[in-house]
């Protein structure tokens, strides 16, 4: 049995293939992608923790010691990151061969369920991102705080963007063409 090695792969998820996939990193493409995803994940965690630690150590300005610190990072600020993290976990728990809808893998309802959970995962991540933007606007910008307190909101948005980038890079790196060629070789 031989499948034609053409550009068109009937099993792929997206209609338009990602154009930057053809960067010739060779056999290290997968490990580089995984390292990059892990680095972005750590960066996301520390971006938000930076804001949280900064808020915990915030002090009034030196020239007016009686001026209270107007806003702190509370539990509400943690919620978008928690949702994005849940989304990442859900997305990574899905078997990627199921989503592609191979004939050999189970019935069609399994494919349908896998795609449903993939949708739930991406909805959680998008909800986290939208929640962080809403938090930035509602809690920080509309309240009219100074620039140094707006940083808490910007850090939250940056955290969720980095988490989403991490998940996308991990997905692309793990659904590479290595296993596909391996299957062809059998």
Binding site for another protein (CB under 8 A): 27-28, 30-31, 34-39, 41-43, 45-46, 49-50, 53-54, 56-57, 170, 174, 176, 178-179, 181-182
Distance in angstroms (rounded) separating the CA atoms of residues 91 and 96: 9
Which is closer to another protein, CB of 5 or CB of 28? Answer: 28
* Shortest Cβ 151–another protein spacing (Å): 10
* Shortest Cβ 40–another protein spacing (Å): 8
Which is closer to another protein, CB of 28 or CB of 109? Answer: 28
Which is closer to another protein, CB of 127 or CB of 176? Answer: 176
* Shortest Cβ 130–another protein spacing (Å): 25
Q: What letter does residue 149 receive in the DSSP assignment?
A: H
Helix, strand, coil percent content, the chain, rounded in steps of 5: 70, 0, 30
Distance in angstroms (rounded) separating the CA atoms of residues 100 and 92: 15
Which is closer to another protein, CB of 136 or CB of 167? Answer: 167
* Shortest Cβ 164–another protein spacing (Å): 16
Burial level of 45, CB count in 10 A (0-12/13-18/19+)?
middle
Distance in angstroms (rounded) separating the CA atoms of residues 131 and 91: 19
């Amino acid at each position: 049995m031989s499948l034609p090695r053409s550009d068109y792969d009937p099993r792929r998820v997206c209609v338009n293939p990602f154009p930057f996939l053809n960067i010739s990193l060779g056999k290290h493409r997968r490990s580089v992608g995984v390292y990059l995803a892990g680095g972005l994940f750590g960066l996301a965690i520390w971006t938000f923790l930076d804001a949280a630690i900064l808020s915990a150590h915030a002090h009034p300005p030196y020239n007016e010691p009686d001026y209270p610190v107007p806003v702190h990072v509370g539990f509400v600020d943690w919620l978008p990151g928690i949702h994005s993290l849940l989304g990442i976990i859900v997305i990574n728990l899905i078997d990627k061969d199921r989503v592609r809808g191979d004939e050999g893998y189970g019935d069609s309802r399994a494919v349908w369920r896998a795609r449903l959970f993939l949708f739930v995962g991406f909805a959680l991540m998008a909800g986290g991102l939208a929640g962080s933007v809403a938090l930035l606007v509602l809690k920080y910008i509309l309240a009219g705080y100074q620039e140094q307190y707006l940083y808490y909101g910007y850090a939250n948005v940056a955290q969720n963007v980095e988490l989403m980038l991490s998940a996308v890079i991990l997905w692309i790196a793990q659904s590479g063409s290595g296993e596909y060629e391996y299957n062809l070789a059998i």
